[in-house]
């Protein structure tokens, strides 16, 4: 059984994961309009992934005797200035999500809820991957700068990345 404190904290994380899905979706749409097919595919795939993270939390809350709440969401910005700005926003967002997960893990230890603590370890590992991926992409964007040819090649590289992520293991 979840304590009210943990149920509330998990529901806050549901909202963060849902908002993350929206942010990725807005980035996908922006990249698609800019003509970057690879980046848009990457962002659409990550929007779906973030929604799955949210659903995993919803199911867990309900299975543990809590009540998962479907959150209201803010509309993310539809414009990002440049690809560098967009990926910086993405990286900063992932750092914020990691901090939120860490705060949630801390609450589970304070409340001695080791089942939820164990459940959240998947999210801890996932956030390490998400931050590393965002940092790697941001580093590549910084190397490219404003070179249009470089952005074209980068878009193709990202398209390959989406294919690798969706490949069966």
Burial 87-126 (b: 16+ CB within 10 A, else e): bbbbbebbeebbebbeebbebbeeeebeebbebbeebeeb
What domain range includes position 67?
4-165
CATH of the domain at 119: 1.20.1260.10
pLDDT by residue, tens only, the chain of 169 residues: 899 999 999 999 999 999 999 999 999 999 999 999 999 999 999 999 999 999 999 999 999 999 999 999 999 999 998 888 999 999 999 999 999 999 999 999 999 999 999 999 999 999 999 999 999 989 988 888 878 888 888 888 888 777 666 554 4
Q: 80 — phi, psi (to 5°)?
A: -130, 5
- What's the whole-model pTM score? 0.90
């Amino acid at each position: 059984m979840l304590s009210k404190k943990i149920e509330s904290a998990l529901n806050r994380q549901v909202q963060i994961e849902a908002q993350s899905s929206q942010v990725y979706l807005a980035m996908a749409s922006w990249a698609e309009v800019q003509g970057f097919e690879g980046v848009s595919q990457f962002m659409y795939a990550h929007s779906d992934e973030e929604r799955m993270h949210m659903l995993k939390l919803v199911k867990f809350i309900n299975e543990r005797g809590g009540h998962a709440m479907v959150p209201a969401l803010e509309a993310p910005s539809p414009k990002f200035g440049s690809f560098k700005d967009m990926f910086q926003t993405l990286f900063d967002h992932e750092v914020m999500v990691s901090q939120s997960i860490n705060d949630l893990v801390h609450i589970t230890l304070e409340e001695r809820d080791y089942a939820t603590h164990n459940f959240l370890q998947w999210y801890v590992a996932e956030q390490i991957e998400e931050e590393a991926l965002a940092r790697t992409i941001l580093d590549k964007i910084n190397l490219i700068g404003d070179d249009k040819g470089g952005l074209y090649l980068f878009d193709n590289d990202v398209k390959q990345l989406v294919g690798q992520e969706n490949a069966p293991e």
